[in-house]
Amino acid sequence: MNGGIIVRNDPVNAIDPLGLKDYYLFVDIDSVPILGGEGGFGVVFDSDNWMDSGVFGTAGPAGGANAGIGVGWGKAERELEGISWNIDANIGMISPTISFDDEGYNGYAWSFGPGGGISFSGTITGTYSINDLIRDWKGDNDNPCQ
């Protein structure tokens, strides 16, 4: 099965036959009056290693004219973590976002909530996974500050 998720007996035509994508639920906030910021937080399911699933936070500077708040879901083609460049539009109650990383297109998200405008952002996303929790609980972390 190659670490993938079970896909209703149709692994060739299913959404994620190899289990390489991250799926996430989130809350996001956009405040971009020409220059501003975008951020969010939520939970992520890592389909190639469920122990890397957990919570995440993302934030970064943005340009454009955009304001909104919403809840939503998304999919990252590779990992959700790291640096991304995003195009975000708030159209009434719907906000689609397209994300890119250093390898190109990396995914999309949809959120639902009040807002209006469009912005471009560069964000950094970090996660705290089940594996991180276990390492911290066991004291096996590599944090040089301790």
Torsion-angle region of 94 (φ positive above 0: left; ψ -120 to 50: alpha; else: beta): beta
Question: Is the overall model pTM greater than 0.85, yes or no?
Answer: no
Domains (ranges, CATH) in the chain?
Answer: 22-137 (2.40.128.480)
SS3 annotation, 29-92: EEEEEEEEEEEEEEEEEECCCHHHCEEEEEEEEEEEEEEEEEEEEEEECCCCCEEEEEEEEEEE
For the segment 20-72, what is each residue's pLDDT rounded down to a tens digit? 799 999 999 999 999 999 999 999 999 888 999 999 999 999 999 999 999 99
For the segment 106-120, what is each residue's pLDDT rounded down to a tens digit? 999 999 999 999 999
